[in-house]
Chain A
Amino acid sequence: MVQDLGYLKETPSQTAGPYVHIGLTPNYSEIGGVYETDLGSVMVNDKTLGERITVMGRVIDGAGAPVKDAVLEIWQADSAGIYNSPSELRGTADPNFTGWGRCPTSSTDGVFRFGTIKPGRVPFKDGRKMAPHITVWIVARGINIGLHTRMYFPEETEANAEDPLLARIEHRDRLATLIAEKEGSVYTFDIHLQGDKETVFLDI
């Protein structure tokens, strides 16, 4: 016999279901008076440093229809590339920026929308800099385990070209699925769950 490693197994995931809004965005789901505001609905205030941007888009299923009952969360560094997290040891993040946001896709047109700032670059493990990016996590009815992906910025051509994660994508035509479209300060990032334009999802 050898020694038991003694590890536990992770609690298995289950779908968030169609009524995920009751728990995560109760005010949006017309359950008023329990929480003052829906957590994650505001990421910035008027003192937040950095370039104000809007990140919006839709989640699209394998039949091309927008998913109108998803909830997205985003996580990103501040404008200086520092995360607002106790596990961040490289410095103190902008106290006026949460770094984390949560938004349901609209029950009418399926659009999600975040008011945030453009993140600074953060290092990869070997010291190389990753291109500016926003981590995205998607849950919904029919999604058994939350999907992780990243949104990158189209104007960051040079940084994207040297990004270690983008470099790992074997089929180069799929890179485009992680790069938002820019119009002024609005970035549109459509997420395709399945099919020809399927977004690259991460096991990370």
Chain B
Amino acid sequence: MSDRSNSKPETGAFFARDRAWHPPAFAPGYKTSVLRSPQRALLSLDGTISEITGPVFGHSILNELDNDLIHNFAKPGESAIGERIIVHGRVLDERGGPVPGVLLEFWQANAGGRYRHKKETYLAAIDPNFGGCGRAITDGDGHYAFRTIRPGAYPWPNGVNDWRPAHIHFSVFGHGFAQRLITQMYFEGDPMIWKCPIVGTIPDKQAIEQLIAPLDWGNTIPMDARAYKFDIVLRGRRSTLFENRLEGN
């Protein structure tokens, strides 16, 4: 399971999470959060070995088409319908360094905003050549990339007339289980972003802007696919400035 590189593994505890930057558990504009949010305070504890460590996945789990959502569910010779895009970026930690060798998983609706899921009842059509899932592992510099179609906006039963902006869900592992993160990527210039109650669970406008991927003209492939760049920042590890103390045993 482990994909050990030559670099010395980092073992410091993680920076405390800034929970005022993240959305709060209780955010009544997003109705489902009302009954699914803890009301008691979280119990705080500096990371122990149980959170500093975490699973790391080797490239052996990946198939050739795992990062190509246009083709990984399509019939041979066919492809998903929609705007062809590339999404790429880096996974960094709060100290600005790359986080290599971490698994990212992506899922999304098709070009019409329809998810391939049995609980989904939106009247927009399923694309027979689009599954909507993909995954990638960051390289030595923390880079990842995948190819997909741009998802459509879709309506959901929250307010009477709520629509999600076009978005791609991201699941990111780090090197420690405390870095585990699920988030959503939005697209530059989408006016729906600022109307969305789920986006609105995030209190700080700057934090929301961190989820908006800009159009990356430089990496757009002419006559093929436009590119969007989405960098992800995971919790930083404290430097192990002092290791000359008895700990961990």
B182 touching A14, Cβ below 8 Å? yes
- Residues of A with C-beta under 8 A to B220: none
Given contacts A98-B1, A122-B49, A204-B178, is CB(A10)–CB(B11) below 8 Å?
no
Q: Within the complex, what minimum Cβ distance (angstroms) separates B171 from chain A?
A: 6
B50 touching A130, Cβ below 8 Å? yes
Total number of B residues with any Cβ neighbor in A under 8 Å: 101
- Residues of B with C-beta under 8 A to A31: 73, 116, 131-133
A10 touching B36, Cβ below 8 Å? no
Interface centre among A12, A18, A168 (most CB of B within 10 A): A12
- Residues of A with C-beta under 8 A to B23: 12-14, 144-145
Contact of B224 with A by CB under 8 A: no
Interface-located stretch among B79-87, B136-144, B233-241: B233-241
In the bound assembly, the distance between CA atoms of A57 and B95 in angstroms comes to 38
- Residues of A with C-beta under 8 A to B51: 135, 148, 204
- Residues of A with C-beta under 8 A to B21: 9-10, 12
- Residues of B with C-beta under 8 A to A199: 38
CB under 8 Å from chain B, chain A span 1-55: 6-24, 26, 29-31, 33-36, 39
In the bound assembly, the distance between CA atoms of A145 and B20 in angstroms comes to 12
A9 touching B233, Cβ below 8 Å? yes
Given contacts A84-B2, A89-B11, A202-B45, is CB(A63)–CB(B35) below 8 Å?
yes
CB under 8 Å from chain A, chain B span 44-83: 44-57, 61, 63, 65-66, 72-73
Contact of A190 with B by CB under 8 A: no
Interface-located stretch among A67-75, A109-117, A153-161, A181-189: A67-75
B37 touching A200, Cβ below 8 Å? no
A sample of 16 more A-B contacts (CB under 8 A), given A11-B210, A15-B33, is A6-B96, A12-B202, A12-B207, A16-B171, A20-B169, A23-B133, A34-B134, A36-B63, A62-B36, A85-B53, A87-B11, A99-B1, A122-B49, A144-B27, A145-B23, A193-B36
Residues of chain B having any CB pair with chain A under 8 Å: 1-5, 9-11, 15-19, 21-25, 27, 30, 32-40, 42-57, 61, 63, 65-66, 72-73, 92-96, 105-108, 115-120, 131-135, 169, 171-172, 175-178, 180-184, 198-199, 201-202, 206-208, 210-211, 232-236, 246-249
Residues of chain A having any CB pair with chain B under 8 Å: 6-24, 26, 29-31, 33-36, 39, 61-63, 67, 69, 73, 75-77, 83-90, 98-100, 107, 122-127, 130, 133, 135, 137, 139-148, 150, 165, 168-169, 174, 193-195, 198-204
